[in-house]
Amino acid sequence: MVTLTPDPSFYPSPRMAQKAPPEQLAYVASFDPERQKPDALAVVDVDPKSPTYSQIVGQTEMPNLGDELHHFGWNACSSCLCPNAPHPHTERRYLVVPGLRSSRLYILDTKGSERQPKLVKAIEPEEIAEKADYSRIHTIHCGPEGIYANALADAEGNAPGGIMLLDHETFEVRGQWEIDRGPQQLAYDFWWHLGHDTMITSEWGLPETFENGLVPEVLLGSGYGRHLHFWDLHTRKHQQTIDFGKEHQLVFELRPAHDPTKAYGFVGCVISLKDLSSSIWTWYRDGDKWAVKKTIEIPAEPADPDQLPPVLQGFKAVAPLVTDIDLSMDDRFLYVSCWGTGDMIQYEVSDPMAPKETGRVRIGGIVNRATHPKAGKLSLNGGPQMVEISRDGRRVYFTNSLYGAVDPQFYPDGIDGWMVKLDVGENGGIAFDESFFIEWPDGRRPHQVRLQGGDCSSDSYCYP
């Protein structure tokens, strides 16, 4: 897998990556919530000129049951061009696909098999437990020291969760990333500022508090994650914790600015115990420390308790449940998935301290059940969830399932999977592509989307 010149999908800077050609295929993790058939990686045709546009054109089934495929990533990406640790001649070729429930890692080769990725290696949970003492693999990122994978728990299912490193050529598990984790115990997402040598990690909870669904007592007792952790990316030592306070629970997806000179980013907090609102916080550099500020608050919407699942009935309101966010390559637009209310909201964030709403669409939702022009039915369930943006920022894709055990707590009548696409106006504004609606087949549910050649949450950059 070594080439003479750098992989053409690597770009030194996010400015150059924006000029990349449009993606033709999307890879979508899909899992069987019943754990009766294997999970699969689906391949979706996203080329509008193709006769099979907006269809699943390939699928690779995993060899096991009950993996719950989650936030997968590439073996290599634009950070391979970084000057301090270059790997420019590694190919972006393999998808590294984690099973959140099984703690297994699959390596899928897309070269020459773009529409039917070939399974070339499975890393079993025993190997991960032995070499890194972790389990419940959640998110994958390609980075300066190879492949980074984070885990929500240790090998026994307890704290601490954390990050491990994999060799980006042999896929050998190299061990825990952390050298000094300080007070960090919980894990959810991680990403970094390559220009500021900083790793950031967020928090969910331990497996016993999510593998059978969220536990209301833990939530109301503020027992889920509510901290951000900042680390030195190269000494791998913990530097700072920021506590969002008892009111705020589930600090999830991290979206640092792509421009390596900018020292800020956005993180979503799923729920406020005070009023069920969701919030977006901006982290930023304040002197020689990091600081956060709540810059967006999305209120809960009053609702008839009869239309609400048991977990929300007492509150007589539907929580927005911001479970994923994504930042465009030019750091100009932030997309916010409100899985509860069914909104996908676009904010202009050129001033990261003062986001302005510039677009909104509604689909699904606990109460609204809004439909799509191509859906052919009056109501849809599930809501905007994992969201991915094309490198040029003109197309946005998203799916509607959160997590097998949590889906029925908010959508008790089940979730029928779908994937949709938005077109983005040159200066903001979003609208459904009326010809793009995929009803997910075989009872599986779609989760994370990755775009061929890279997207806005796959690559990081060392040059502005």
Q: How far is the CB of 166 from other proteins (least distance, A)?
A: 11
Q: Nearer to other proteins by C-beta: 148 or 244?
A: 148
Segment holding 125, helix H or strand E:
helix 125-132
Return d(Cα 173, Cα 130) in angstroms, integer: 9
Tell me if 80 sits within 8 A of 86, measured CB to CB: yes
Stretch that binds other proteins, among 12-20, 264-272, 324-332, 418-426 (CB under 8 A): 12-20
Contact between 285 and other proteins (CB under 8 A)? no
Smallest distance, Å, CB 88 to other proteins?
A: 5
CA–CA distance, 394 with 20 (Å, rounded to integer): 12
**Shortest approach of other proteins to residue 285 CB, angstroms?**
11
Residue 216 preceded by cis peptide, ω within 30: no
What is the Cα–Cα distance from 216 to 210, expressed in whole angstroms?
10
Of the candidates 153, 233, 319, 406, which one interacts with other proteins according to CB under 8 A? 233
Can residue 11 be called a binding residue for other proteins (CB under 8 A)?
Answer: yes
Question: Do residues 325 and 280 make contact, with C-beta atoms less than 8 angstroms apart?
Answer: yes
Verify binding: residue 462, other proteins, rule CB under 8 A: yes
Applying CB under 8 A, what is the total number of residues that bind other proteins? Answer: 39
Stretch that binds other proteins, among 55-63, 140-148, 357-365, 440-448 (CB under 8 A): 140-148
Considering the complex, state which of residue 95 and residue 233 has its C-beta at the smaller distance from other proteins.
Answer: 233
Task: Select the residue interacting with other proteins from 21, 63, 88, 425 (CB under 8 A).
Answer: 88
Report the chain's C-alpha Rg in angstroms. 20
Question: Would you say 263 or 367 has its CB closer to other proteins?
Answer: 263
Residue pair 137/68 in contact by the 8 Å Cβ criterion: no
Pair 276, 220: CB distance under 8 Å? no
By CB under 8 A, the residues from 410 to 439 that bind other proteins are: none
- Which of 144, 160, 161, 352 is close enough to bind other proteins by CB under 8 A? 144
What is the distance between the alpha carbons of residues 286 and 296, in angstroms, rounded to a whole number?
20
Binding test (CB under 8 A) with other proteins, winner from 212, 261, 379, 435: 261
User: How far apart are alpha carbons 408 and 213 in whole angstroms?
Assistant: 8
> Residue 69 corresponds to which tokens in the numbers above?
């495929």
Site of interaction with other proteins (CB under 8 A):
2-6, 8, 10-13, 16, 81-90, 144-146, 167-169, 194-197, 233-235, 260-261, 462-464
